[in-house]
Amino acid sequence: MNTADYLLQNGKDDAIALISPNHQYTYGEVHTGSARILGALRRCDVQVGDRVAILGSNSLFWVCSYLAILKQGAIAVPLATTHTPEEIQRFIEFTGCRVILSEQRLYPKFLASLNGRIGTLFEDVLHHDESSPVWDEPDPDFDLDQDAALMSTSGTTARPRAVRVTHRNIQANTNSIIAYLELDSSERMMAVLPFYYCFGTSLLHTHLRVGASLVFGGTFTYPETVLDLMEATQCTGFAGVPSIYQTLLRNSSFPKRSWTHLRKLQQAGGKLQNILIEELVHAVPHAKVFVMYGQTEATARLSYLPPELLPQKIGSIGKGIPGVTLSVLNEEGEPVKPNEVGEIYARGENICPGYWNDPEATAEKFINGELKTGDLATIDEDGFIYVVDRKADFIKTYGYRVSSQQVEAALIEIPELVAAAVIGEPDIVRGEAIVAFVVLRDGAVLTEKDILAHCAKRLPHYMVPKEVFFVPALPVNAHGKVVKTELRKQVIQRGS
């Protein structure tokens, strides 16, 4: 079955599917809107395998565009609205998109310079009534190994990199996530994560599949507006990356509000430090907190820690989700013993076939159907996995190999800090010196001396940062993850 049919299969026509600040849309309206866009794509002669881009915020238009592209057998290419016009155009050209579905307001900034070189459809296609919209009956023989989407990765490379996600990948990962989260049609998810990001897309997949609803909260630039909408719409679920939870817990009214309806919190997209997990559990003690781990190359999710095990296994990403096998292997390809460090490898139907037009990177990352994640980890006696750091983020200082996450964990213990990140910079004495970047809570007063004194009490001398820079915000990519390459550039600029 085509993934568009799979996602809409359980949504009742009169049930609420999507909620914006000013409107609610039923599954019937989603189906009709998707059929209208499908008709527009066919009038543009979009064929199976053609790439079709989507540019817009989370909305009825985005959702219907995505479903229509999948239904046509074309390949969806979600574009990040946080990228520059040059990055957007480079990605469009790299993936060879024939048509783009774009919000009208974004066209002058991002697409006008393309000068008509790509077919463009705007949100008014949702309201065309020229003919009755047609949505073909589900095809039971549909090839699930067709590419469904090309998802931009959060990694930093000199050229664009797009993960090929198949219909089989999406359906397998969606089924797994629904199973361990125990989702049903009563769920109402606050969707602040953008749908062009695989974590955000997974929320769309899972909640449509069970016939539940999603609330569009806009960006997280104004957290109080999001929190007000969550209360007004009685959201039962929330999902975020560490940067979002840091703001929620340290720089918003979230811990002071009464969340009577909120029952499931999902965290992925990087490590949320233990002290913040504890603050989150304390803020919403009746809710289940799911700490998860994933990669774009795995469609979305790879592991989760059952909420009831948080007190005993805090800091762990848990074990593989249903249908996924995770291994932590040493350099010889053998499973590590408890407390030894190795790299995480993943196997399952959600593992993607590779990168678009990049056989060299595909061969390096995908080995005999297994994903080489690039994340270093250890296990405990019960087989639970603990990520140590990304390979690229280790710092070699005074002859020691230091995990940046360990230093960041010590920093975030300071209540006045909203966020912290550390990097290594070349140093003649140390090899690499540890440099910290911190974001203070509104109104907080703290000096570099205060922070270094705190670190000296909690860390070995070689892990104490050499310098601390106070910044208004950490640089993040389109997925909300800290971009350490930008921090390294800032250090170079400061020294020049």
- Express each pLDDT in 62-102 by its tens digit: 999 999 999 999 999 999 998 889 889 999 999 999 999 99
Whether residue 214 sits in one domain with residue 164: yes
Q: Is residue 292 part of a domain?
A: yes
Q: How many domains does the chain have?
A: 2
445 and 309 both lie in a single domain:
no
Percent of the chain with pLDDT over 90: 77
The CA distance from 401 to 415, in Å, is 27
CB 323 within 8 A of CB 299: no
For the ranges 136-150, 313-327, 456-470, the lowest mean pLDDT is seen at 456-470
The separation between CA 236 and the C-alpha centre of its own chain, rounded to angstroms, equals 20
Q: What is the pLDDT of residue 158?
A: 57
d(CA 433, CA 431): 7
Are 399 and 265 found together in one domain?
Answer: no
Whether residue 291 is contained in a domain is answered as yes
Q: How confident is the model at residue 156 (pLDDT cuts 50, 70, 90)?
A: very low
Q: Do residue 347 and residue 484 come from a single domain?
A: no
- Over residues 302-331, the pLDDT tens digits come to 999 999 999 999 999 999 999 999 999 998
Q: What is the CATH number of the domain that holds 369?
A: 3.40.50.12780
Mean pLDDT score of the chain, rounded to an integer?
92
User: What CATH number corresponds to the domain at position 483?
Assistant: 3.30.300.30
Q: How many CB atoms lie within 10 A of CB 418?
A: 21
385-426: pLDDT as tens digits: 999 877 777 788 877 778 888 899 999 999 999 999 999 888
Last residue of a domain, one of 324, 353, 379: 379
- 8-state DSSP, 296: G
Same domain, residue pair 334 and 411: no
> Residue 129: pLDDT band by 50, 70, 90 thresholds?
low
Does residue 319 sit in the same domain as residue 412?
Answer: no
Specify the residue for token string 């600040």: 21
- Distance between CA atoms of 421 and 438, rounded to whole angstroms? 7
Residue 162 falls within a domain, yes or no?
yes
pTM above 0.85, yes or no: yes
Q: Which domain holds residue 460?
A: 394-495
Do 299 and 344 lie in one domain? The reply is: yes
Cβ-based neighbours of 190, under 8 Å, separated by 6 or more? 214, 215, 217, 226, 229, 230, 233, 235, 237, 238, 239
d(CA 437, CA 163) in angstroms, rounded, equals: 31
Q: Are residues 184 and 322 in the same domain?
A: yes
Judgement on whether residues 444 and 490 belong to the same structural domain of the protein: yes
Query: Quick one: how far is CA 449 from the chain centroid?
Result: 35
Question: Collapsing DSSP states into helix, strand and coil, what is residue 491?
Answer: helix
Classify residue 388: in a domain, yes or no.
Answer: no
Q: Are residues 304 and 418 in the same domain?
A: no
Please state the rounded mean pLDDT for residues 92-116: 90
CB atoms within 10 A of CB 227: 20
Distance CA 279, CA 130 (A): 54
Is the domain of 344 the same as that of 415? no
Within a domain: 386: no
Is 90 exceeded by the pLDDT of residue 477? no
In a domain, 303, yes or no: yes
